[in-house]
Amino acid sequence: MNAERQTVYRWSFIWSGALVALVGAVLLGVAISQADAWARVSGMLGLSGLGWGGILQTLNALGLTAMRSSAVESVAALPGQRFLFAGAVVWLVGWVLIAGGIRRAPPSSEGPSPAAGAQLYPRLANYRDFYWSTLGAYGGGILLSELVLILLQTFLSNGGGASAEGKGLPPVGAFAISLIAASLVAFVAGFIGASRARRLAMPEATIGVIYLGLPVPVLLSLMERLPDLQVSLGYRLREVTYVAELLGRPVVGYWLVFSLLVLMLVLGINTGFIAAGSGRVDLKLGFELFVARRHVGVFRPSLLLGTLAVLLFGIIPPLIVYGIIRAVEAAVERTRIRALGLEDPLAAASALNRLKLREQSPTMMMTALSVGGVGVGVMSLIIVLSVMSGFEQDLQQKILGAHSHVVVTKYAGHLREYPRLMEQIAKVPGVVGQSPSIDNPVMVLADDEVQGIVLKGIDPETVGTVLDLPQNMLPGGSLENLTHPEKIVPRRSLGGFGLREPEQTEEEFDPIIGRPTKSAEEQALPGIILGRELAAILRVVVGDRVNVISPQGAELGPAGLIPKSRAFRVAGIFYSGMYEYDAKFAYILLSEAQSLFGTEGPSGIELKVADVDDARRIASQVRKELGGYPYNARDWGEIHRNIFSALRLEKLVMGIILSIIIVVAAGLIVATVIMLVLEKRKEISVLKALGVSDGGIVKIFLSEGLQIGLAGGLLGLFSGLAWCFFIEKVGIKLDPSVYYIPALPVKIEPVQTALAVIIAVLVTYLASIYPALKASSVEPVEGLKAE
């Protein structure tokens, strides 16, 4: 049987085997469905995916055998049993076929070779295919990095607020430090493992990551589902879960971090292989860069400027400009050559030749495309993330304008003792303002209009140290009117051009309290400050009268409990710029609120802190200062957690989606570098013959990919920043009826921007690992033979 036929047979065996096994799997699936057992089986199947299923099943079976004596003997026949047996048999037959296919062909029909018994060539004799030490380095490294991350995070940060131990760093800062430390551990572990084995040792890496790296994130993810686990681990891991929850979806956070650590491990492995894979550490790059730069000329002005132009202005305009420049250039050149030709025909002919030769090679085009691809990815990442940060900042500003940074409350009852508490709180460093307040939902009425709002009792003296309310007051009213309601000018005396009829009677019958009240003008009603939108809904202006009805502090009337009602005069109108607040908030004097709600003190003390991002730590210090229970202090991040975590999740998802562009660009880089490797096979052989080691070849091609990534990343950075500045300075108008913000907000966050570039460069580095390894495996004789 000749070799080709044999190959065909082998392949048909393997393929038909795979098909048969698939049919078997389907049959098994049918059997499971009929038995309605997916729920029970899926856990096991999932574990089998990791390779643990078999071990667990064996343990399980052992346990069953042990218990057998007491077990019920008769097992009810399963519904899909026939399918189960058939499926299992077919599945096995499929694998037998595959095994038959991979049987090796007999080496030679010509008897033993003359070399039988000769000394084996030394490198082959020394070959080892598995390194336990490397497995230890990889697996131990990834596990250690996870533990370092978790422990360092718990140690450095302030313990989620309640506990006193820890270094008291803000959680995000602590997380950043721990993440860097953990990444370093993973990188070093990869480096050590690869340099010990002197090769990439992928089996070791896979085993290490799956068996030692996966359990921690799996455990963390499961914690959500299993309340028992949460109880036993939750307290210790609160720091970790807190940071993960900042993303809005903790599980996403765990796996992102895990992937990052694996990435760092892979980078370490690769670097270790290059540096020491061939016997000694050699990180010098001079020669490799010299060769790489000749292969791909990324850093040439024409390519960089061209790509930058495309990123900034789109494809068409630069293309037109380029066409014009080329045409003009060619015309000038030809004129020059013609003039030259009159004097020196030889030089002219050579110049003409050179003009024609200036063509671009396909690799050149691919290089430009890859640079552009990475650039587009980084640019869009930077723009979109900056705009989203802008929205977030805008929202934060507005929320923090209307809400305080930290609120101190009491678990039960009211803060009658607030002056003492305020003195104590003032001692906490970082607190720059405080004001007592009380708030409750009420209904507010003005003639025919009704609106449900939050009514807040404030102290006009101190409220300015906490909220932006004084600055947000629209002209015409003022905060002082709250304390001196007699200063409010009733509207009728302004000239009476209002829409409503002036009140006719002295005695007015209030339809809601069901009691006659005095005329609105004569009574010095307490003042109320409304949001602009609320005023518009109620159709009132400063000086108008509104009624507030509160379910809290209801009074006993003739017909049972009657909600309390009070009349107020609009003392001022504020505009915060956030629809929610302008339509849903009203402020009155603290003492008025106390009597309206029937409480004996404010419900909370609102604080302002110097650094908004430090609010969490300060809140915990305030709590400590007040001696904990029954007092509690919550920061704004905690109070408004839902909206911010939704925003962050959205940002994360956008980031991931846009990173796909970078991944596609990385695909382009893989293609480009593979093309380069194929194109340069002969050169690789020659370089090896001249004494370049495998590591050197890897370095050459890695730096080619990296050049592309770096150029793309930097171009993306420049164009992204340029676009952000454009949006900021020139502005993109938003529809005011929809957005309530005049223009698209932008906030360039340096860390986030740098991260986009770094990720792009890392991804391109990863992308060029495979082609570079391919290049290094070209044998020296291979290229020397190919003519």
Partner 1 sequence: MSLLSIRNVFKSYFLHGKRIDVLRDVTLEINRGELVSLVGASGAGKSTFLHVLGTLDPPAAGELLFEGRSVFAMNDAEIAEFRNRTIGFVFQSHYLLPEFSALENVAMPALIQRRDRGESYAYARELLERVGLGARVEHRPGELSGGEAQRVALARALVLKPAVLLADEPTGNLDPATGEGIHQLLREVNRDLGITAVVVTHNETLARSMPRRLRLVGGQVTDA
Closest CA to 716 of 373, 388, 387, 389: 373
**Mind giving me the DSSP string for 599-657?**
-SS-SEEEEEES-GGGHHHHHHHHHHHTTSTTEEEEEHHHHTHHHHHHHHHHHHHHHHH
Size of site (CB under 8 A) for partner 1: 50
CA–CA gap between residue 268 and residue 194 (Å, rounded): 8
Q: Which of 146, 533, 694, 704 binds partner 1 (CB under 8 A)?
A: 694
Give the shortest CB-72-to-partner 1 separation in angstroms: 60
Identify the residue among 84, 135, 692, 711 touching partner 1 (CB under 8 A).
Answer: 692
Q: Which is nearer to partner 1, 107 or 750 (by Cβ)? A: 107
In this complex, which beta carbon is closest to partner 1, that of residue 277 or of residue 531?
Answer: 277
CB of 291 to partner 1, least distance (A): 8
d(CA 97, CA 21): 9
Stretch that binds partner 1, among 122-130, 494-502, 553-561, 569-577 (CB under 8 A): 122-130
Binding-residue pattern over the window 754 to 783 for partner 1, x denoting contact by CB under 8 A? -------------------------xxx--
Measured from the CB atom, the residue of 72 and 118 that comes closer to partner 1 is 118
- Binding residue (CB under 8 A) for partner 1 from 69, 70, 109, 353: 109
Q: Which of 108, 493, 504, 505 binds partner 1 (CB under 8 A)?
A: 108
Residue 115 CB neighbours (<10 A) = 8
**By C-beta, is 288 or 582 nearer to partner 1?**
288
Of 757, 614, 611, which Cα lies nearest the Cα of 173? 614
Q: Which of 40, 294, 326, 487 binds partner 1 (CB under 8 A)?
A: 294
Q: Which of 69, 70, 74, 126 binds partner 1 (CB under 8 A)?
A: 126
Minimum CB distance to partner 1, residue 363 (Å): 11
Could you say whether residue 49 binds partner 1 (CB under 8 A)?
no
- Residue number with CB closer to partner 1 (733 or 785): 785
Q: Of 79-87, 109-117, 424-432, 476-484, which segment contacts partner 1 by CB under 8 A? A: 109-117
* Cα–Cα distance, 742 to 754 (Å, whole number): 29
**70 touches partner 1 by CB under 8 A:** no
User: Among 75, 121, 356, 475, which residue sits at the site for partner 1 (rule: CB under 8 A)?
Assistant: 121
Nearer to partner 1, 114 or 750 (CB): 114
> Token pair 């009476």 is at which residue?
496
For residues 415 and 626, is the Cβ–Cβ distance under 8 A?
Answer: no
Buried b (16+ CB within 10 A) or exposed e, 225-246: eeeeeeeebeeebbbbbbbbeb
CA separation for the pair 528, 548 (Å, rounded): 10
Residue closer to partner 1 by CB (options 146, 704) is 704
Among 246, 647, 663, 686, binds partner 1 (CB under 8 A): 686
- Of 72, 77, 115, 730, which lies in the binding site for partner 1, with binding defined by CB under 8 A? 115
- Token output for 643: 């909206």
H or E element that contains 53: helix 53-67
Q: Return the residues of window 695-714 that contact partner 1 according to CB under 8 A.
A: 695-696
Instruction: Give the residue with the Cβ less far from partner 1, 289 or 734.
Output: 289
Angle of CA points 386, 391, 394, to nearest 5°:
120
* CB 658, min distance to partner 1, A: 36
Phi–psi pair at 50, nearest 5 degrees? -90, -10
Q: Is 362 in the site for partner 1 (CB under 8 A)?
A: no
Token readout for 464 is: 């300015």
Q: How far is the CB of 271 from partner 1 (least distance, A)?
A: 16
Indicate which single residue of 67, 72, 75, 118 sits in contact with partner 1 (rule: CB under 8 A).
118
The residue among 122 and 475 lying less far from partner 1, judged by its C-beta, is 122
Task: Using the minimum distance from each CB to partner 1, give the nearer residue, 105 or 656.
Answer: 105
Task: Please report where in the chains the tokens 């980031």 appear, as a residue.
Answer: 655
Dihedral angle computed from the Cα positions of residues 684, 690, 694 and 700, in that order, rounded to the nearest 10 degrees = -60
Main-chain dihedrals φ then ψ at residue 567, nearest 5 degrees = -100, 140
Under rule CB under 8 A, residue 689 binds partner 1? yes
State which residue, 582 or 683, has the beta carbon closest to partner 1: 683
The answer to whether 351 contacts partner 1 (rule: CB under 8 A) is no
**Residue 282 binds to partner 1 (criterion: CB under 8 A):** yes
String marking each residue 236-275 x if it binds partner 1 according to CB under 8 A: ----------------------------------------
Residue 157, CA atoms < 13 Å, CB-side half-sphere: 30
C-alpha distance from residue 481 to each of 151, 266, 502, 542, 582 (Å): 55, 67, 23, 11, 19
CA atoms within 13 A on the CB side of 558: 3
Query: Among 83-91, 289-297, 612-620, 638-646, which window interacts with partner 1 (CB under 8 A)?
Result: 289-297
Q: Which of 43, 203, 279, 317 binds partner 1 (CB under 8 A)?
A: 279
The residue among 763, 15, 678 whose CA lies nearest residue 363 is 678
Residue (302 or 519) nearer to partner 1, CB: 302
Give CA torsion, residues 584, 585, 586, 589, to 10 deg: 150
CA distance readout (Å), 27 to 30, 53, 82, 616, 696: 5, 20, 10, 57, 52
* Measured distance CA(715)–CA(710) in Å, rounded: 8
Which amino acid is located at 246 in the chain?
L
3-state SS record for 229-248:
HHHHHHCCCHHHHHHHHCCC
Which positions touch partner 1 (CB under 8 A)? 2-3, 105-110, 113-115, 118-124, 126, 198, 277-280, 282, 284, 286-287, 290, 294-295, 682-683, 685-696, 779-781, 784, 787
